[in-house]
Amino acid sequence: MKNLSGLAVILAATLATGAIAQDTVRMGTEGYYPPFNYFDAAGEVIGFDVDIGNALCAEMNVTCEWVTTDWAGIIPALNSDKFDTIIASMSITDERSEVVTFTNPYYFNGARFITVTDGGVTGALPADLEGKIIGTQESTLEVEVLQQFFPDSEMRLYPKLDDALLDLETGRLDVVYASQFVLGAWLDKEDGACCEFVGETSRSDGNQGTGIAVRQDDAELLANLNAALAAIIANGTYEEIRSKYFEFDVMTEPKTASELFQ
């Protein structure tokens, strides 16, 4: 998994993007997770996930139709046929794989803490944050990490990460724990001038990379998505999209939470 180009060569040799039975693939996403999926000024959903999804649809010669829904209900919505895929920076885990099937990973997402600059938080190990208030988005793997490794901190959950960041700015939280990519993009904005990273990047022990979810009985779509992913990696489209958003390799696997916080 660490070498995505190697994965592309293997898949390209064994899979070919074939004709897909449907003309349109309904792509489910959230819309509140920049730079991966978010709304522009015109109300259109854009971002890294969306660009990857559109590239996959182009490779499969189908039309992408984007559908947004709240994160907490996104898997039930997929299984209720509200859309055909989830491409919303969803981490692959054994628990989620019991109810959906994932493609091969299209990036690895580590999490990190941020805090107000000169706010008194100088480390991000469990001992450093004892008695501190930590905010994160509900129904994410970050919740599991905080529950397991930060029992002596107070955890506050938010439907949207933006709400946690607002509470950090206004002093109602000591730190926020979330995707390093999403937090990094926020820190680069005017709103994020208040704050800075603290501590190292980690990932939950069960995080197997970020994949696209489909219903468990949708084997044809799964095969076509994997073949299309291999194709856009091989032909340079993936790298073109990656460089638009990030200056670094997004397939590097961060340390696990156990390695960092145990």
Residues 213 and 100 in one domain: yes
User: Strands, E, within the chain: which ranges?
Assistant: 24-29, 32-33, 37-39, 45-46, 63-68, 85-91, 101-102, 111-116, 133-137, 154-158, 175-179, 195-203, 210-214, 255-256
Decide if 262 is inside a domain.
no
- The model's pLDDT over 110-160, given as tens digits with 9 standing for 90+, comes to 999 999 999 999 999 999 999 999 999 999 999 999 999 999 999 999 999
Residues 97 and 16 in one domain: yes
For residue 8, what pLDDT is reported? 46
Decide if 72 is inside a domain.
yes
For residue 248, what pLDDT is reported? 79
For residue 15, what pLDDT is reported? 41
Decide if 261 is inside a domain.
no
Residues 225 and 197 in one domain: no
- The model's pLDDT over 58-70, given as tens digits with 9 standing for 90+, comes to 999 999 999 999 9
Range of the domain at 235: 4-108+207-253
Residues 59 and 100 in one domain: yes
Please give the average per-residue pLDDT across 47-56, as a whole number.
98
Residue 210: which residues within 8 A CB-CB, separation 6 or more? 89, 90, 91, 92, 105, 106, 107, 108, 109
For residue 3, what pLDDT is reported? 43
Q: Which of 105, 102, 92 is nearest to 8 (CA)?
A: 105
Q: At 137, which CATH number? A: 3.40.190.10
Decide if 195 is inside a domain.
yes
Residues 15 and 97 in one domain: yes
Model's pTM, two decimal places? 0.74
For residue 21, what pLDDT is reported? 64
The model's confidence at residue 18, banded by pLDDT at 50, 70 and 90, is very low
For residue 7, what pLDDT is reported? 45
Q: How far is CA 235 from CA 17, 55, 243, 254, in A?
A: 13, 11, 15, 27
Amino acid present at 128? D
Residue that terminates a domain, selected from 161, 184, 203: 203
Residue scoring higher pLDDT (170 or 22): 170
Decide if 215 is inside a domain.
yes
For residue 2, what pLDDT is reported? 38
Residues 14 and 100 in one domain: yes
For residue 4, what pLDDT is reported? 44
Residues 90 and 116 in one domain: no
Residues 17 and 97 in one domain: yes
Please tell me the total count of domains within the chain. 2
Residue that terminates a domain, selected from 179, 203, 227: 203
Residues 125 and 180 in one domain: yes
Quote helix, strand, coil % in the chain, to nearest 5. 35, 25, 40
Residues 213 and 247 in one domain: yes
| Rounded to 5°, angle at Cα 171 from 168 and 174 | 60
Decide if 189 is inside a domain.
yes
Residue that terminates a domain, selected from 203, 222, 244: 203
Residues 51 and 161 in one domain: no
Decide if 259 is inside a domain.
no
Residues 168 and 188 in one domain: yes
State yes or no: pLDDT of 23 exceeds 50.
Answer: yes
State yes or no: pLDDT of 238 exceeds 70.
Answer: yes
- The model's pLDDT over 79-106, given as tens digits with 9 standing for 90+, comes to 999 999 999 999 999 999 999 999 999 9
Work out the mean pLDDT of the chain and round it to a whole number: 91
User: End-to-end alpha-carbon separation of the chain, Å?
Assistant: 24
Decide if 86 is inside a domain.
yes
